[in-house]
């Protein structure tokens, strides 16, 4: 369990998050384009529907998530209007990245202000089974020459084949808006090694429904 604190007009508020609560929030964030209810998300995190509802109730009370009715189903999404939710999501993404310190260290030279470094695919689940290392580098400025130079050096020493995708943030956004299945699936199965704050801004821009 982790404890997150934030300031409000009444003072410092402490929120305890369990492992399952953190997992649920990351699923909502990465699956922002999907409609999750208590039944569908319970299957993903391996909890009972009742257990999942308790988490939703707690997070809704803290105004971390929103809910709305679609037909008979109640759908839950992150409350990005809440500044604390934004900070919490950035913290959860950073914490997840720290579980992959090896890859943070390997690719730290790729990161600079304005870039987002994303590790995705089978490498984040099972290193032994993965055939290659899937990496996406998002950039605002066209600095592909610099990025390619760093990647070539890495390719000489990495034990598995490196499969990098270099893309502008604008093109990435367009892919999401156009519901590009490859990009949406990549987001669901990724770890944001660097640039979590900028990444959240990207997701916020396309997650409103």
pLDDT of residue 207: 77
Closest CA to 64 of 76, 51, 48: 76
- Domains, the chain, with CATH or none: 2-78 (1.10.10.10), 100-207 (3.30.460.10)
125 vs 1: CA distance, rounded Å = 22
Contact 100, 93 (CB under 8 A): no
Contact 120, 136 (CB under 8 A): yes
In this prediction, residue 92 has a pLDDT band, given cuts at 50, 70 and 90, of very high
Please tell me the chain's helix, strand, coil percentages from 3-state DSSP, rounded to the nearest 5: 50, 25, 25
Is the pLDDT assigned to residue 110 strictly greater than 70?
yes
pLDDT of residue 8: 43
**Tokens 């992959």 label which residue?**
100
pLDDT of residue 10: 35
Q: Would you give the end-to-end CA distance of the chain in angstroms?
A: 32
């Amino acid at each position: 369990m982790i404890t997150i604190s934030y300031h409000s007009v009444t003072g410092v508020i402490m929120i305890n998050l369990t492992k399952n609560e953190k997992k649920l929030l990351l699923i909502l964030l990465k699956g922002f384009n999907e409609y999750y209810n208590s039944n569908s998300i319970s299957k993903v995190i391996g909890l009972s529907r009742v257990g999942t509802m308790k988490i939703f109730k707690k997070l809704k009370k803290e105004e971390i998530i929103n809910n709305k009715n679609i037909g008979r189903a109640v759908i839950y999404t992150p409350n990005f209007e809440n500044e604390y939710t934004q900070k919490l999501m950035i913290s959860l993404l950073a914490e997840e990245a720290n579980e992959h310190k090896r890859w943070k260290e390997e690719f730290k030279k790729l990161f600079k202000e304005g870039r987002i470094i994303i590790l995705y695919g089978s490498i984040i689940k099972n290193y032994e089974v993965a055939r290659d290392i899937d990496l996406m580098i998002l950039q605002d400025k066209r600095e592909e020459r610099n990025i390619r130079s760093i990647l070539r050096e890495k390719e000489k020493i990495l034990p598995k084949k490196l499969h990098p995708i270099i893309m502008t943030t604008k093109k990435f956004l367009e892919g999401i808006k156009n519901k590009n299945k490859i990009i949406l699936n990549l987001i669901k199965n990724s770890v944001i090694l660097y640039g979590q704050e900028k990444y959240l801004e990207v997701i916020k821009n396309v997650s409103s429904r």
